[in-house]
C-alpha cells in the first residue's frame, strides 16, 4: 500500500525559513512531487525529485532521500502569499501520472 505523512499545520514568520517534511512508504518509487494549493484554487506544481539530493528553484528547494523514504520542502524569505497548503505526492511503480498525495500541510505565514 501507499502511505504519505506530513504535518497538518505549521506557522512561520514573514521573512523566515520553513521546512515542511514528508515521509512515505510506497510500493515502488518513481518520483516525488510538491504542489502548492491556495484556498479555493487548483494545486500548482512546485518541484519534482527522483534522485537523492537537493533541487533548488528560487526561494523553494526540495530534498529527497530514497533510502529513508523522506523528503522536505524548504521555503526561504517567506512572504504572506506563501500561506497555503503544501502537498507531497509520490508516483509509485505503476508509472504513468498516478500520484498518491499526502493530506497536505497548511502553512500560515504571520507578520
Partner 1 sequence: KAGVTQTPRYLIKTRGQQVTLSCSPISGHRSVSWYQQTPGQGLQFLFEYFSETQRNKGNFPGRFSGRQFSNSRSEMNVSTLELGDSALYLCASSLVSGGAGEQFFGPGTRLTVL
What residues line the site for partner 1 (CB under 8 A)? 30-31, 33, 41-45, 48, 50, 87, 89, 91, 94-104
First to last CA, the chain: 41
Measured between alpha carbons, how far is residue 100 from residues 9, 32, 63, 81 in Å?
A: 20, 9, 18, 26
Least separation, in Å, of the C-beta of 37 and partner 1? 9
Cα 2 from Cα 49, distance rounded (Å): 18
Least separation, in Å, of the C-beta of 97 and partner 1? 5
Least separation, in Å, of the C-beta of 44 and partner 1? 7
3-state helix vs strand vs coil in the chain, percent to 5? 5, 55, 40
Least separation, in Å, of the C-beta of 96 and partner 1? 4
Closer residue to partner 1 in complex, CB, 78/107: 107
Closer residue to partner 1 in complex, CB, 46/78: 46
Closer residue to partner 1 in complex, CB, 14/41: 41
Cα 71 from Cα 104, distance rounded (Å): 13
Closer residue to partner 1 in complex, CB, 75/88: 88
Amino acid at each position: 500500500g501507499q502511505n504519505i505523512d506530513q504535518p497538518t499545520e505549521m506557522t512561520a514568520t514573514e521573512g523566515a525559513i520553513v521546512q515542511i517534511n514528508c515521509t512515505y512508504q510506497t510500493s515502488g518509487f518513481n518520483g516525488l512531487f510538491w504542489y502548492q494549493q491556495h484556498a479555493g484554487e487548483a494545486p500548482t506544481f512546485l518541484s519534482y525529485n527522483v534522485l537523492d539530493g537537493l533541487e533548488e528553484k528560487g526561494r523553494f528547494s526540495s530534498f529527497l532521500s530514497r533510502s529513508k523514504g523522506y523528503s522536505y520542502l524548504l521555503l526561504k524569505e517567506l512572504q504572506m502569499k506563501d500561506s497555503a497548503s503544501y502537498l507531497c505526492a509520490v508516483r509509485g511503480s505503476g508509472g504513468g501520472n498516478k500520484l498518491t498525495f499526502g493530506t497536505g500541510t497548511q502553512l500560515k505565514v504571520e507578520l
